[in-house]
Amino acid sequence: MSVLAAPEIHIEWSALAPVLIVLGAAVVATLVEAFVPRQARRLVQVPLALLSVAAAGLVALQLALTASSSTTAAAQGNLAVDPMALYLQLAIAACSLLGLLVIADRTVQGEDAFAPQASAVPASEYEEQVRRAGWTQTDVFPLVLFAVGGMMLFPAATDLITLFVSLEVLSLPLYLLTGMARHRRLLSQEASLKYFLLGALASAFFLFGAAWVYGATGTLNLYVIQISVSSVTGLSPILVVGAVLILVGLLFKVGAVPFHAWTPDVYQGAPTVVTGFMAACTKIAAFGALLRVIYAMVPGLEWSLEPVLWTVAILTMVVGTVVGLVQKDVKRLLAYSAIAHAGFILVGVTAYSLEGLSGSLFYLFTYGISTVGAFGVLSLVREVDSDGHMRGEATGLDQWRGLGRRSPLLAGCFAIFLLSFAGIPLTSGFVAKFAVFGAAFGSGAAALGIVGLACSAAAAFFYARVIQVMFFDSPPDEEVRLTTVGPGIGVRTLGFTQIAIAVSLALTLVLGIVPGWFLSFTEELSSLLMLTR
């Protein structure tokens, strides 16, 4: 446990294997960019990325299944390899594997989601030349791998500095990826810049908070802070304020109100394939870190921090739901839905009990899977202009009118994802909501549970509206079609995205219809974690 000067550096290679595989692959992928000829890069990058993430997931699964109740403190006590960390690494690997499939996909014309050359000025001569030459930006694969590596470290970090480093490792590639959309590049670059500036601000708050906590306790290790908190009688305001500032940094990443403002703009501006990956995996990683901080550092502080978490949870649910009701763009709608869901998960986190932890872990995985699937569908629905050319994604709700008739399969899949987000029985979303709200009722936070139920009932309304638009509204008639941008229609691709959608659809239904085995899995992991606390 000692974080003080250790004479010999000892690294637990096997326990850290999932992270090491991904980060190692990321380094190799960077070298590929430097040394492999342009034409062959994609052929190398795609399998490398997919295989390394899959391998990391399998190793994490193996470690999770054999996990004992004792926490392995790895890397000089800076990382915890415990059931929760392994479970979240597995969830991140699963979601990013699906996300990578969507990212690697391209249309039958060979067009992927990214700008041919991100450094080219939008609408410049150079950009046009590059586009004609058919270049593609394969740097996205190492970037994604670095992000995944950071995400996997994030929930395992038990030291404020390690936590900060992994936060930055996961964030920086995401800022870049956000700015690389092929279509609507200005929107994409604007989103990237906003995300970067606000992310930097949030990181500053985090660091500031870490400094205050260090000042109050003289240590950066979460578990040592916990011990020093319980030994101090009368909490120092410095410690409490520091803890709040650390929470702010993490709440920013999960998109909780009032630190959510970036979410709609970034979700809308980023390439849709990146949005899906980011929405699913960042949420899992950031909530993982939040759970770690709350369960490791906060004991002793919970009475002070509870009102803060209550306020944020209620605000997040209400704002996400209410503002979601008026959205006219499918991507922004899903962004507000993501905010509302962050609030629902916060209810489970705030419940601060075995059921709450287990419910939150279940929720994170199922929500991540459904999110990747939903954004996968979104990435396939493209505008057709009057000449019949495929253009960028059709994200306007109007363009989705009658999609159920043009692309029934896509619309049907999307409807099921939406039903899951709405929490309708027989989908994983229902079980997840039941788990977290049930935990709230069970731990004396019934008021939070009731607000959550009311919000999810209201949120169901905007999901139902999308379903209604897809299946019941008639498509825009010919006249409208010629004067405005065309209606959305499913695009033909290599089929990677369809595989990802099929897998996430299957998981959404399986975890909705027979959730028992998975619930008992998360519950077992949570009880191991509670034991060690």
Partner 1 sequence: MTENLVLAAAEVTPAASAAWLVIAIPLVSAGILLLAGRLADKWGHLLGVAASAASCVVACWVFFAMLAQPAAERAQDVVLGTWIAGGSFTLDLGLQIDQLSMAFVLLVTFVGTLIHIYSIAYMEHDPDRRRFFAYLNLFVAAMLTLVMADSYLVLFVGWEGVGLASYLLIGFWNYRTEYAVAAKKAFIANRVGDVGMLIAMMIMFSQFHTLSFSGVFAAAAHASPATLTLIGLALLLAACGKSAQFPLQSWLGDAMAGPTPVSALIHAATMVTAGVYLVVRSGPIFEHTANARLAVLIVGAITLLYGAIVGCAKDDMKKALAASTMSQIGYMMLAAGLGPVGGIFAIMHLLTHGFFKAGLFLGAGSVMHAMSDQVDMRRFGALDKFMRVTWLTMMAGWLAILGIPPFAGFFSKDKIIEQAFVPPDGQPWQAWVFGLVAMLGAGITAFYMSRLFFMVFQGKARWTDGQHPHESPPLMTVPMIILSLGSIGLGLVLTLVKFDEYLAPALVEGHHGEPVLNQYVIMGSTLALVVIGAWIAWVKFGTKTAVVPVLPPAADGLVRAARADLYQDTLNNALLVVPGQALVRGTTEVDEKVVDGAVRGIGALFQSIGSVVSRLQNGYVRSYAATMLAGVILLVAIVLAVQG
**Residue showing tokens 């709609």:** 264
Shortest Cβ 325–partner 1 spacing (Å): 6
Longest dimension (CA), the chain: 77
Question: Looking at beta carbons only, is 113 or 351 nearer to partner 1?
Answer: 351
Question: Looking at beta carbons only, is 227 or 424 nearer to partner 1?
Answer: 424
Give the three-class secondary structure for 81.
Answer: strand
Residues numbered 351 to 410 that lie near partner 1 (CB under 8 A) are 354-355
Shortest Cβ 314–partner 1 spacing (Å): 12
Question: Looking at beta carbons only, is 157 or 245 nearer to partner 1?
Answer: 245
Report whether 249 contacts 203 (CB < 8 A): yes
Of 116, 269, 271, 343, the one binding partner 1 by CB under 8 A: 269
Would the CA dihedral through 292, 293, 299, 305 be positive or negative?
A: negative
- Check binding of 468 to partner 1 (CB under 8 A): yes
Binding mask 133-152 for partner 1 (x = CB under 8 A): --------------------
Give the three-class secondary structure for 107.
Answer: strand
Residues numbered 173 to 202 that lie near partner 1 (CB under 8 A) are 186-187, 190-191, 193-194, 197-198, 201-202
Distance (Å, rounded) from C-alpha 225 to C-alpha 227? 5
Question: Looking at beta carbons only, is 146 or 518 nearer to partner 1?
Answer: 518
Residues numbered 18 to 77 that lie near partner 1 (CB under 8 A) are none
Stretch binding partner 1 (CB under 8 A), from 72-80, 151-159, 270-278, 517-525: 517-525
Residues numbered 292 to 351 that lie near partner 1 (CB under 8 A) are 303-305, 307-308, 311-312, 318-319, 322-323, 325-326
Of 121, 461, 482, 531, the one binding partner 1 by CB under 8 A: 461
Q: What DSSP element (H or E) covers 490? A: strand 488-490
The two tokens of residue 525 are 């992991």
Of 3, 55, 464, 502, the one binding partner 1 by CB under 8 A: 464
- How far does CA 90 lie from the centroid of its chain? 13
Distance (Å, rounded) from C-alpha 17 to C-alpha 20? 5
Residues numbered 408 to 437 that lie near partner 1 (CB under 8 A) are 424-426, 431, 434, 437
SS (H, E, C) 375-394: HHHHHHEEEECCCCCEEEEC
- Check binding of 265 to partner 1 (CB under 8 A): yes
Of 23, 240, 246, 284, the one binding partner 1 by CB under 8 A: 240
Question: Looking at beta carbons only, is 97 or 279 nearer to partner 1?
Answer: 279
- Check binding of 482 to partner 1 (CB under 8 A): no
How many helices (DSSP H) and strands (DSSP E) are in the chain? 21, 5
- Check binding of 126 to partner 1 (CB under 8 A): no
- Check binding of 212 to partner 1 (CB under 8 A): no
181 bridge partner residues: 114
Q: What are the two backbone dihedrals, phi and then psi, of residue 382, each rounded to the nearest 5 degrees? A: -115, 160
Distance (Å, rounded) from C-alpha 458 to C-alpha 451? 11
